[in-house]
Amino acid sequence: MAFERVCALSDVPESGALRVELADVDVAVVRFEGQLYALEDRCSHADVPLSEGDVEVLGGAPTIECFLHGSCFDLRTGEPTNLPATEPVDVYPVRVEGEDVLVDTEADASASAVQPSHAAGN
């Protein structure tokens, strides 16, 4: 786990996204309905930033919409909710410490975002 400060909380718009360019990856920090999310800022359909899209509830899920072709991505899991994108984008754990927003781009938040309904086993 390697949380690093990516921005100030006040930099992130209400119901919107902030693009943060880190050394290895660009991250969209999204604030929506009182929650913060962090996901890779690159649509899985083509190389355009998701942070330029709108955030909205779609089918009960908080999503961000790709501005280019309209695929929406679940902010909790990174899964696309509609075509043309078919692949998920990475989502990362995010937390707030005081006025700082910290993101761990080495971890995958989608596993923890989805409530495990059964123990993994084989």
Smallest gap from residue 113 Cβ to ligand FES (A): 21
Longest dimension (CA), the chain: 46
Pick the closest to residue 31 from 94, 114, 109 (CA basis): 94
Smallest gap from residue 65 Cβ to ligand FES (A): 9
Q: Which is nearer to ligand FES, 81 or 113 (CB)?
A: 81
Give dist(CA 46, CA 33) in Å, integer: 27
Smallest gap from residue 75 Cβ to ligand FES (A): 15
Q: Which is nearer to ligand FES, 41 or 93 (CB)?
A: 41
Smallest gap from residue 68 Cβ to ligand FES (A): 4
Q: Which is nearer to ligand FES, 11 or 70 (CB)?
A: 70
Q: Which is nearer to ligand FES, 20 or 43 (CB)?
A: 43
End-to-end CA distance of the chain: 27
In three-state secondary structure terms, 110 is helix
Residues that bind ligand FES (CB under 6 A): 43, 45-46, 48, 66, 68-69, 71, 84-85
What does the CA dihedral 21, 48, 94, 23 come to, rounded to 10 degrees?
A: -30
